[in-house]
Structure 1
Amino acid sequence: LAQHFNCIHMLGNQVCAPVELPANSRHLDTYFTNLTLTDKSFHVSAIGRGRALDGIEMMAISRGLTLDQMRDDPGITTIISVNSPRRFDEMMAEGLMTMAEFGQSVAVTPFTLMGAMSPVTLAGALAQQNAEALFGVVLTQLVRPGAPVMYGAFTSNVDMKSGAPAFGTPENTKANIASGQLARRYGLPYRTTPGSASNAADAQGAYETLMALWGAVLGHGNLVYHAAGWQEGGLTASFEKLIIDVEMIQHMMEFLRPIEVNEAELAVEALGAVPTGGHFFGEPHTLERYATAFYQPMLSNWQNYEAWQEAGGLDATARATRLWKKALEDYVEPVMDIAVREALEAYMARRKEAIGQGEP
């Protein structure tokens, strides 16, 4: 599905976790799947040096590059999560340093949930987030000056009645905007997230995601992570939610397109040709542009109630089900050179054997 939609530019780490495979080596299977079923970049699991280096080496194989060439031409990224408050776990630190050593992109992201892992006040949480993020940024530069790095932000609040994480809240949205201001202050690219705590692809999921997405956009986010399919605070994913999110992202992309102003767009001739109280449907200016004048949603239904009922009365979630199934039917696997595929398979086999013998 990620391959199908052009507004999705990269994949997450594990679109779904293959829990039936050994936990210490299944990252290899997910890397292989990402590399063979899409032609988009992806986020590697940098939990320790081994997993980070596996992602770097497999991407290098797929691109026909050496590791030295990958240093100067990055192809993957990772999220390094801070164990807030004020702790970098050993495996995360190893992953960060490995990615920086080989010139790959890192988004240092504190996990600052207000009231739990950070102060209950937004200003206090942002101050903590800033210190933790900058620590990680500095560490990448100590390893390799000039290593690509992003300012990551994941500040939201918890439900103070239960302790459960909440997303798409007013506080989360303001944090997304303020974090972008901090990133720009330091001249860093900005990683952000439009999340939702809803357990279903429903109205709550849509309005929470859109609130957070506005924060990401107004914060000038460069990497909008967890952008499509996120549900239940990130514990589950939904095909229907992915379609709804893609629709919102496409709306946002069209909204951000600048208004074109020139003689033709001002439509002075059409304005003069239509009499008072008339209409523009039959004007040449309209007929020349009507097919592409407006964004055409893939999910929205603009029929009146009677026509909608006659067509089956499907709500947005039901229509989303049809759309993701059609997208899968239309999927075409990208072409990969057989020698490259065999090299990836050989690398996986070697590493699985080494991991089985205790190598990290």
Structure 2
Amino acid sequence: MNVQNPSRSGGRAARRAARSSALPDNLRPVRPGMEGGKFKPLSDADVLKIHHAALDALETIGLADAPESGVAYLTGAGAILGDDGRIRFPRALVEDMLVKANRSLTLMSRDGQNDLELSGSRVHYGTAGAAVHLVDVHGKHYRDCGVQDLHDAAKIVNTLDNVHFCQRPMVCRDITDNLEMDYNSIYACVAGTTKHIGTSFTDPSFVAPAIEMLHMIAGGEDKWRERPFVSNSNCFVVPPMKFATESCLVMEECIKHGMPVLLLSAGMAGATAPSTIAGAIVQAVAECLAGLVYVNAIKPGHPAIFGTWPFGLDLRTGAMTGGSGEQALLTSGCAQMHNFYNIPGGAAAGIGDSKLPDMQAGWEQMCSNVMAGLSGCNMIYEAAGMHASLLGFCHESLILGDDIIGQALRCVRGIEVNDETLALDQIAEVCMGGPGHYLGTAATLSRMQSDHFYPSSGNRMSPKEWVEMEKPDLIETATARKEAILGAPSAAAIDPVIERAIRDQFNIHLKG
């Protein structure tokens, strides 16, 4: 007969209860903004070669297709418009603008509890992307995603300790009007989370209405400008080395309204960027340096993130390889360039090429997330929930991704070496007259929560306990947690009076 040891069971239950309660920040094993930067795939000489190659590209090749207003801003700052229509950037201009650029910025949260300090090699993970499908893990099929799915993703993000921001991860395919899609995307995210939100706009004229709605939510324009809790994800270039005319105009509008911008260069290595990892990084750096000049020509020191997002390509098929080792190197190399310039930067990691949250997705998402964090990337985008090389988003995977990122952050934290952690006194106490093991010692128990990250969904049971617990399945566990989160009221719900006013003025598609 199987008789459980009551004391052992009670101890295990007590430890579980302790781990489920919120820890104060000073005891948390991982937290937002921990310092990375220990992993450097590029040597110092390599970094300088990439820097000089990017400056050469800007000075001799330049970028085409700037809007008329952009030409005026850039030439007014010292860029040169050639007879071929390309704008070229003298080295001295780029270096001057790097001096003017914002070295440290804070991405605000709506409630002030989850502000993100971007400086040095402080690491943050979050969502992003423009997935057009939602992954149904139980039916193993993809369907079009809509505004409710986006809201649900934001609501889940709000509960996840290790997902620090919510850049819009999918598009609302149930809204056909682009203006309505843009402001509904913002509304759905804001109603789901108080963490910082990233969004995009399809037309420059759509910025002002969305800003008006954000003023209402913030409590006025002055409150919004004091704490802008939404930033603009802006694909201001069409690689290789061309400005995206409409997106540049969107960027100008966002700067005018006090919205931080992510300068996003997303070339595909082997297609719209050089096939070599170094070449793809050079082009991304050059394009983002051009964007940095553009922003600071409009408003010196405006909050801008250096968004080098080169992606890998399977040259056999032309398919994107977001979950590859090459992608991990692209991202970590870019992060090293951000640190070289000492400007806030972001890149993509955590992408699964796998279609479902399976073993393939696990290794793909962990590989680049760990390397991006270790390299000290300030903003790690698309870090959870993304599948099918960014075509699909999965709520269950978002929840499981919180565990993946937690483990990645524990790697970022690294190994503390001091008199206490060297533990010589513990070794002596245990070995000379002690029990001969460290289980249950005061030192072990006192550090079990502060030193160790414990997964929320991951299963570390013994096979025997796993059977006793009716063989819990990872996906089923994530689904149950998803349903519990979505079944509860939103902790980020907009004040009912403000919500009513917004719904009276805007065509909000999200059900009240």
TM-score by shorter chain over 0.5 = yes
Partner of 1:153: 308
Partner of 2:211: 56
From 199, 218, 232, the equivalent of 1:78 is 232
Query: Is contact 2:352–2:388 with CA below 8 Å preserved after alignment?
Result: yes
From 365, 384, 394, the equivalent of 1:209 is 365
From 346, 349, 356, the equivalent of 1:200 is 356
Query: Is contact 2:218–2:224 with CA below 8 Å preserved after alignment?
Result: no
Partner of 1:356: none
Partner of 1:247: 403
| Structure 2 Cα separation of the partners of residues 243 and 69 of structure 1 | 32
Q: Looking at both structures, which has the greater relative contact order when contacts are Cα pairs under 8 Å and sequence separation is at least 6?
A: 2
| Structure 1 Cα separation of the partners of residues 182 and 324 of structure 2 | 33
Query: Is contact 2:182–2:201 with CA below 8 Å preserved after alignment?
Result: no
Displacement of 1:182 after TM fit?
A: 1.8
State how 1:19-168 maps to structure 2 within 5 Å.
Answer: 19-66=174-221, 70-71=224-225, 73-81=227-235, 82-168=237-323
State how 1:269-288 maps to structure 2 within 5 Å.
Answer: 269-275=425-431, 278-288=436-446
Partner of 1:358: none
Alignment CA distance shift 1:260-1:182 (3 Å): closer
Count residues with an aligned counterpart.
Answer: 350
Deviations 1:30-66 (A, max 9, x none): 2222222322221122222233333333222211131
Displacement of 1:152 after TM fit?
A: 0.7
Partner of 2:454: 296
The answer to whether 1:231 aligns with 2:387 is: yes
Q: Taking structure 2 as the reference length, what is the TM-score of the superposition?
A: 0.63
Displacement of 1:7 after TM fit?
A: 2.0
Partner of 2:333: 178
Helix, strand or coil at the partner of 1:224 = strand
State how 1:302-321 maps to structure 2 within 5 Å.
Answer: 302-321=460-479
More displaced, 14-23 or 205-214? 14-23
Deviations 1:138-187 (A, max 9, x none): 11112222211111122122111221111122221111121112222333
Gaps in structure 1 of 5+ consecutive residues: 353-360
Query: Is contact 2:387–2:394 with CA below 8 Å preserved after alignment?
Result: yes
Helix, strand or coil at the partner of 2:312 = strand
More displaced, 291-300 or 228-237? 291-300
Gaps in structure 2 of 5+ consecutive residues: 1-155
Partner amino acid, structure 2, of 1:181: Q
Partner amino acid, structure 2, of 1:27: D
More displaced, 280-289 or 183-192? 280-289
Displacement of 1:319 after TM fit?
A: 2.9
Displacement of 1:346 after TM fit?
A: 3.6
Displacement of 1:92 after TM fit?
A: 0.9
| Structure 1 Cα separation of the partners of residues 162 and 332 of structure 2 | 21
Query: Is contact 2:169–2:393 with CA below 8 Å preserved after alignment?
Result: no
Query: In percent, how many aligned pairs have the same letter?
Result: 23
Helix, strand or coil at the partner of 1:43 = strand
Helix, strand or coil at the partner of 1:136 = helix
Deviations 1:253-312 (A, max 9, x none): 233336556666555554333236722224333344546653221122122223323423
From 327, 339, 348, the equivalent of 2:506 is 348
From 129, 145, 166, the equivalent of 1:11 is 166
| Structure 2 Cα separation of the partners of residues 343 and 137 of structure 1 | 37
Partner amino acid, structure 1, of 2:334: S
Partner amino acid, structure 2, of 1:255: C
Query: Is contact 1:4–1:331 with CA below 8 Å preserved after alignment?
Result: no
Helix, strand or coil at the partner of 1:140 = helix
Query: Is contact 1:230–1:237 with CA below 8 Å preserved after alignment?
Result: yes
Partner amino acid, structure 2, of 1:299: S
Query: Is contact 2:190–2:492 with CA below 8 Å preserved after alignment?
Result: no
Alignment CA distance shift 1:126-1:136 (3 Å): same
Displacement of 1:342 after TM fit?
A: 2.9
Partner amino acid, structure 2, of 1:91: E
Alignment CA distance shift 1:287-1:127 (3 Å): closer
RMSD: 2.6
Alignment CA distance shift 1:303-1:346 (3 Å): same
| Structure 2 Cα separation of the partners of residues 330 and 261 of structure 1 | 43
Partner amino acid, structure 1, of 2:337: L
Displacement of 1:348 after TM fit?
A: 1.6
Alignment CA distance shift 1:54-1:7 (3 Å): farther
Alignment CA distance shift 1:186-1:48 (3 Å): farther
More displaced, 332-341 or 141-150? 332-341
Deviations 1:70-117 (A, max 9, x none): 445432212212221122222211111111222321111212111111
| Structure 1 Cα separation of the partners of residues 286 and 308 of structure 2 | 12
Helix, strand or coil at the partner of 1:191 = strand
| Structure 1 Cα separation of the partners of residues 341 and 286 of structure 2 | 12
Alignment CA distance shift 1:50-1:8 (3 Å): farther
Displacement of 1:15 after TM fit?
A: 4.2
Partner of 2:104: none
Query: Is contact 2:366–2:408 with CA below 8 Å preserved after alignment?
Result: no
Partner of 2:66: none
| Structure 1 Cα separation of the partners of residues 423 and 342 of structure 2 | 41
